[in-house]
Amino acid sequence: MTEKIFYLDPERYKDRGEVLEIKKKDLLGILLDRSIFYPEGGGQPSDRGIIKGENWEFSVLKVIEEKGNIWHFGELKGDLPKIGEQVFMELDVSLRKEYSQEHSAQHLFSAIIERDYKYETTGFQILPEHTKIEIPLSLDINLSYIKSAEEKTNFYIREGIPINIYWENENKRIVEIPNIDKNPCGGIHVKNTKEIGAFKVLRVYRKNSQFWRIEFTSGDRLIRRLEKREEEYEYIKQKLGDPNILSALDKLINKLSLLEKENKKLKEEILDYKAEEISKDSLETSLGKVVIKKLDLDINTLRILTLKILERITLSFLFNNSGELILGRRKEFHKEIWDKIINILESRNFKGGKGENLIQGRVDNIENIIEVLFQEFF
């Protein structure tokens, strides 16, 4: 069993220990006789940091408790640790502080929404950028309650209430914010609510028909988040060239949609010209005017073009370099011949969609099919 220094002395961020065992999984695992590293559990991720031996340094990425043993998993630089070797360990203190703030903020906020609004918390997880909790509720959540609970959370943070932690028995560790919350919990918390600093709900949304999710952050993470948002805001302001980013953004979106419309109109016009040009170049056959042409255009453009060509001539067969084709006819084009052409396409492994007067898809070896069509019909 590893001695759990993270419980006995939660503010010990550096310590010494002895290697009891090592094992190789995806990552190397080191078991020590004592540990300052909190293992993941109860929604709180594990601590990170380093362990150093005589000729090696190990970065701790994940810590797991297995039957009372605390295993440190991570990446090793240098020699393999030796059993019985004395080591030095050091926590990533800022990460530990963030987790403690987020976790304590959760106790406080969850207690308030349950006490005042009867919203129970059934799930909790600290994520890299924020923390989330889950509320079982099929009805709509009341956002003004959430706002009030946020204000109350910040009130209790400023009040500076001590957070008491004690073992009720060997297996039951109690975390208590006097008169507000009392819960069994194995995680790491701050000593006083004022250490949480500040609390902010970020997002409230329905997860599914049974649950709502609330995302929040607190303390150091909240400051970091604000710094990032400020940087982004400055960037946007500069790019837009206007301190009033909302109206500038609206203007930009309007302008974009006008340009899109204009662009669409111009494309239409170009396709009209193209259809005219292609139609002039059509073949006079016994079946009427026919267009057969390979064009370097995507299938959607080919379809629009086909419709325009069919305003002028009776049969159009356009295809592109990727083997995609559009075949279209005017109603007056012989139905029998149309069906025969389709039969030929189908005999060549045609895949696609067929309408009454338009078919779209791909076949094997288009060039060869065209030869066959000429021989048979034109």
Tell me which residue has its CB nearest to Zn ion.
Answer: 185
Residue closer to Zn ion by CB (options 63, 373) is: 63
C-beta atoms surrounding 185 within 10 Å:
22
Residue carrying structure tokens 């989330």: 132
Q: Which of residues 156-175 bind Zn ion (CB under 5 A)?
A: 175
Task: Extract the tokens encoding 246.
Answer: 């909302």
Sign of CA dihedral 236, 239, 242, 245: negative
Least spacing, CB of residue 242 vs Zn ion, in Å: 46
Is the Cβ–Cβ distance between 314 and 290 less than 8 Å? yes
Residue closer to Zn ion by CB (options 175, 310) is: 175
Angle at 139 between CA 133 and CA 143, to 5 degrees: 60
Residue closer to Zn ion by CB (options 70, 185) is: 185
From the list 12-20, 49-57, 180-188, 202-210, the region that binds Zn ion by CB under 5 A is: 180-188
Residue closer to Zn ion by CB (options 78, 184) is: 184
Residue closer to Zn ion by CB (options 185, 326) is: 185
From the list 185-193, 218-226, 229-237, 252-260, the region that binds Zn ion by CB under 5 A is: 185-193
Least spacing, CB of residue 124 vs Zn ion, in Å: 8
Angle at 168 between CA 165 and CA 173, to 5 degrees: 50
Residue closer to Zn ion by CB (options 40, 276) is: 40
Residue closer to Zn ion by CB (options 103, 308) is: 103
DSSP class of residue 347? H
Upper half-sphere CA count for residue 270 (Cβ side, 13 Å): 9
For residue 241, is it left (φ>0), alpha (ψ between -120 and 50) or beta? Answer: left
Least spacing, CB of residue 164 vs Zn ion, in Å: 12
Least spacing, CB of residue 188 vs Zn ion, in Å: 8
Helix, strand, coil content of the chain in percent (nearest 5)? 40, 35, 30
Residues in the chain: 378
How many residues bind Zn ion, per CB under 5 A? Answer: 3
Q: Is 187 in the site for Zn ion (CB under 5 A)?
A: yes
Least spacing, CB of residue 154 vs Zn ion, in Å: 19
Least spacing, CB of residue 106 vs Zn ion, in Å: 7
Residue closer to Zn ion by CB (options 96, 329) is: 96
Q: What strand order describes the sheet that includes 181-184? A: 164-169, 172-177, 181-184
Is the Cβ–Cβ distance between 141 and 104 less than 8 Å? no
Q: Where are the alpha helices (DSSP H) in the chain?
A: 5-8, 93-117, 143-159, 219-240, 245-280, 299-309, 335-347, 366-376
Residue closer to Zn ion by CB (options 60, 185) is: 185
Q: Which of residues 41-100 bind Zn ion (CB under 5 A)?
A: none
Adjacent-strand bridge partners of 175: 165, 183
Rounded distance between C-alpha atoms, residue 354 and residue 352, angstroms:
7
Least spacing, CB of residue 43 vs Zn ion, in Å: 8
From the list 122-130, 183-191, 222-230, 278-286, the region that binds Zn ion by CB under 5 A is: 183-191
From the list 78-86, 110-118, 181-189, 274-282, the region that binds Zn ion by CB under 5 A is: 181-189
Least spacing, CB of residue 126 vs Zn ion, in Å: 11
Least spacing, CB of residue 247 vs Zn ion, in Å: 45
Residue closer to Zn ion by CB (options 57, 120) is: 120
Least spacing, CB of residue 185 vs Zn ion, in Å: 3
221-246: buried (b, 16+ CB within 10 Å) or exposed (e) per residue? bbeeeeeeeeeeeeeeeeebeeeeee
Q: Which of 185, 190, 275, 363 binds Zn ion (CB under 5 A)?
A: 185
Q: What strand order describes the sheet that includes 123-126? A: 123-126, 131-136, 211-218, 199-206
Which residues lie near Zn ion (CB under 5 A)? 175, 185, 187
